[in-house]
Amino acid sequence: MVRTPYCDKSGLRKGTWTPEEDWKLTAYVTTHGHKNWRKLPKFAGLARCGKSCRLRWMNYLRPGIKRGNYTYEEEETIIKLHASLGNRWSVIASHLPGRSDNEIKNHWHAHLKKRFQHNSETDEKVEASTPKHHSPVESIQEESVEVDGSCFQSSSPDTFQTPNGASPSSQLPSLNDDLRMITEPAPASSGNLVDDFADVMEENTDPISAYSWKELYEISYFSEFLAPFVTEPESFCPFYDDWGMFEQ
DNA sequence: AAATGTCCCAACCGCAATTCA
DNA sequence: ATGAATTGCGGTTGGGACATT
């Protein structure tokens, strides 16, 4: 069977995503959902392949995603699950709400693997000088978490967090709200809209950093670009009828 | 201060699995 | 039932940031 390449290599951007691209993708997926990643970039105005868009959304832009600052409990969970599941990162990620498989995989290779190996070596030395007991791996496997999906709450697209870390809502915020947040500075304004906006975002513990949001703010065509979504989404998205608003 | 090495993360790639027509 | 299209997964890599010489 001959596969058509999922990514048409010609004329498509690769590499690091720009704030502008992030915004386009976020705005489009938030408004129209993502039923067909392959066609999405075309209608979102992105020169990326669908695969790249999906990865970016799943790992960095999707609501509720957490970045960095792993807690001790999270790291313990990763180590235990890895001991029992191996490199099944997506399964491991499903037990850590807000964490992507890619990030967990990176964190494992960059930090946890070394620590785990170091601990194993240390324990082996202790084991050699003490009466017989279980190896570190065996111990971990014995007490490893049962993977039945019931003991953890998986991250859900419905648990949207606002960029400033406000409590999750059962509903996605409207794009009008987003626009209001972007275009209306706080009452106690310093007079510099960009800085005020960044100040708000700096409280954010969530995915898109204050730095990124500041950059996003500075993209002057925001309103222009968003206008079609807010007023007549049907005219912008040919799939609108099929997809429905906020479909996840 | 400059050169070199190392670490870490974002993103790409290929393949397998799943869904669709 | 079959083949094509699409999605999801895990391994790998490029390059920027930071540390060391």
Give the nearest nucleotide to A88, CA to C1'. Answer: C10
pLDDT digits (tens, 9 = 90+) for A81-121: 888 888 899 899 888 888 999 999 999 888 887 776 666 66
Give the burial class of A125: count Cβ atoms within 10 A of its Cβ; 0-12 exposed, 13-18 middle, 19 or more buried.
exposed
What is the 8-class DSSP label of residue A94?
A: H
Residue A139 identity? S
List residues with CB under 7 Å of strand B.
A 6-7, 9, 13-17, 48, 51-52, 55-56, 59-60, 67-68, 102-103, 105-107, 109-111, 114
pLDDT digits (tens, 9 = 90+) for A47-77: 898 889 999 998 888 888 888 788 888 888 8
Region of A34 please: left (phi>0), alpha (psi -120 to 50) or beta: beta
- Cβ of A2 near strand C (under 7 Å)? The reply is yes
pLDDT digits (tens, 9 = 90+) for A4-37: 334 545 678 888 899 889 989 988 988 888 888 8
pLDDT digits (tens, 9 = 90+) for A141-176: 433 333 333 333 333 333 333 333 333 333 333 333
| C1' of nucleotide C9: residue with nearest CA | A90
Q: Any idea which fold A72-142 has?
A: Arc Repressor Mutant, subunit A (1.10.10)
Give pLDDT, residue A31. 85
